[in-house]
Structures are given as C-alpha cells and as structure tokens.
Structure 1
C-alpha cells in the first residue's frame, strides 16, 4: 500500500498509508484537526538491476515456467568414489 504525505500548516508534514487511489486531496490533521493538503512526493522505486532482485525474479518465474533440461547430467571427470579414509578397516563399514 502506498504512503501518502500531507502538509498541515500548523504541524508540518505527516504520512498516512492508504489504498491506491483512496487518498483524498485534503485530510484532517491527526494532531490538531486542521485541514491538510496532500503533497506530491517521489515514489520509492527499487533498483531492478541488482543481483538480489534478479534472483527473486528468476525464482518467482521458475515456479510457473521451469527450465527444460535436455541431455545427460554433467560428468565430474572422476571414475571412482572419493576416498575419505586410508584405514583398511573403514572399507568394511556399510556405505550410505
């Protein structure tokens, strides 16, 4: 929901959160009760070129449009499983 700024002649500037297009041109000040006019202010626009935004966008898009993968899985180049221990007794243990 957007934040609208109002300028009261007595209390200065205050903000109100209202629905899009539901903010009147004049409102009563919550502090003093005098009429306040709505200010035109700059919107808060996110920087869409950041890596975080691109990650969020690709995650949202992949929920409904997953990437199609064709072909085999890439090979790591190793033929055998890696050796975790050189102790010969560990070879007798069950493997996951």
Structure 2
C-alpha cells in the first residue's frame, strides 16, 4: 500500500492509502465529502535507520512546536561524564 496526497479546496491536504498505481486523480474529502484533487509529492525514500529518522522528525517538529521543560530529569538517569568506552576507544591514548 502507498500513501497518496490529495488537496480539498475547503479543508486542505489529506492522505489516502491505495495499492501502488491505483490512485484515482480525484477522491472525496473525508471531512466535507467534496471533491479533492491528487497532488504529487516527493516520495518518502530513506536509507536512514528508524531511530535516525525519528530524531530528524523530532528536530523538525521542535522548530515549530518546541517541547516545554518544567523540571530537571531525575538524577538516576544521568550518565557520568566519562561514560563507558567501547573496546575500540579503550585503546586510544589518554591525555
């Protein structure tokens, strides 16, 4: 199934799912039942991992909708400054 984007003149854009290659050029709007036209957008192709994509999306959202922090995180969740080194990092010279 693929997601296709349509635009209603009254209610704006919405997405509809259809099998690849079967999207109609027009579809009824789910909000007002009026006619909406299909618009072509860039495909969502990515070679990034799921956590990386989630981090990028969070960063994009925070530009317009920043999360409000009301308190410090609990002390138990903080990591020490040195942290655990990976085996490859243990062999590096230390200052």
The structure whose Rg is larger is: 1
TM-score, normalization: structure 1?
Answer: 0.48
